[in-house]
Structure 1
């Protein structure tokens, strides 16, 4: 009981994946993540039932009807009814699974009604995030690179002498799964992702979102998410992309819509150009110019 409680507390701190002792697919924290979780459980259940039936029949045949017990094999070559049954049932199972999977893919591909757009670009070996629009308004000059945090990068170096278990965030070990600048997103917002790459094929994957999408040079792939809970969610590149493939994690910080609006305003203000100093300098200069003829007339 205490172990389960400790694992639950740790998962709430950083929401990293996988968790110790995890056996099933990640349930997820987004609107759509329930779809692959449900499909996974359905397929797992079908496979378990088929496995029990097939291996059960095999072991019964091996031990109950073995030659040492005097069993004599039947002489018939086939049974039409049995063949129809064991052909029809698998076909029906496959059709049902295909129908469920197709419905899930169709819903995942539907990015209509998105309230926000994020452009994700993969590089060797980091990610770039550009905020395109939010609630129908375009966003300009809000974007940044996100790469492995400095402490993890320093610790991973050969002969660094640093302890990977000492790399923590709020008491949670974040060695190689933390970044310098996380992707900040609002909850309860349908967010469209446009994903591409600037060099080789990468794959953007956050398990708690329920999907991953390849980042391919020259191609723009789309995906969407709607996060239901605030928190920090971690992922990584899921496509072998070079020698530092294992060192380009993904961190998403999901915040309330109010907090996101404040964060976005701060980012836009920071990226806005500074007011020109020329206007303030022009006023004294013009005053001095106007005063010069007056002095000349008094002389």
Structure 2
């Protein structure tokens, strides 16, 4: 079924990016897209439940009501046009009923028009790079960084480290072994963000379940997606494409903060980036002048 296939494609991993005790089913997420995907998932689930009740109910009834010990004799007929029409038409109607909203959601996922911010995401073996491209119609310069597995997790995961993974914890005491990074992606709440996702070496896949989608990071190709996060928080993800030896050690952390807080963070980052770029620009200018004089 179309909606079930969509849900499976988006959330079919055997391991959640940020698991919780007694976690079952798909998370509802924190974006409009994730809410729509969750609705499709529930619709598909209950359709499957209904089909299961009908099929297994009929099977159990037939096994009990027409068992051999009660003298039941099998019918001799082998064809019923009416029955075959019913079990052909009904599934087709179910598929159409699920495919229509699923197609609309897929189209909505691709619609990045009206985005207020653009972030370029580049996958590398085995880390992520984030470059802030524009925000509210203005280009952003000198704001970009690599995001790697947090040092305490990286140190613990080494063979013969002798360190206990259960002792790798965040400030709130929660175990975040292999789930945390040194520099999270910071984004504002309530802003439609366009993500331009690509790869720097091999194919990766940028996946944060709470955002409602995952996107392949393919070298030479830029794939687009968008998200508008509902509320502040830390949202974790993973690379969802087997990309080499350390594929399991390149987590994703998105830190969503109020817009005012993000504006201050971005201004500080821009100022620091320009200050760092100034000596390089000056050196390049001096070098060019020397070459001209020579």
Q: Displacement, 1:24?
A: 1.1
Residues 42/276 of structure 1: CA separation in 2 closer, same or farther (3 Å cut): closer
Deviation at 1:159, TM superposition (A): 1.2
Q: CA RMSD in A?
A: 1.6
Cross-structure match for 1:45: 46
Matches within 5 A, 1:1-299: 17-169=18-170, 170-273=172-275
How far does residue 100 in structure 1 lie from its aligned partner after superposition? 1.2
Number of equivalences: 263
TM-superposition CA deviations, 1:90-146 (whole Å, max 9, x none): 000001111011011011111000000000000000000000000000011110000
2:284 corresponding residue in structure 1: none
C-alpha displacement of 1:75: 2.3
Quick check: 1:16–1:233 contact (8 Å CA) kept in 2? no
Q: What residue ranges of structure 1 are gaps of 5+ in the alignment?
A: 1-14, 278-299
Structure 2 CA distance for aligned equivalents of residues 48 and 179 of structure 1: 40
Q: Could you say what secondary structure the match of 1:196 adopts?
A: strand
Q: Determine the C-alpha separation between the residues in 1 that align with 2:206 and 2:192.
A: 18
Contiguous gaps of at least 5 residues in structure 2: 1-15, 280-294
TM-score, normalised relative to structure 2: 0.87
CA contact (8 A) 2:234 2:254 kept: yes
Range with greater deviation from structure 2 (70-79 or 109-118): 70-79
Q: Point out the structure with max Rg over C-alpha.
A: 1
What is the CA distance between 1:58 and its match in structure 2?
Answer: 1.2
Render the CA deviation track for 1:190-230: whole Å, top value 9, x for unaligned.
00000000111111000111111111111110000000110
Normalization by structure 1: what TM-score? 0.85
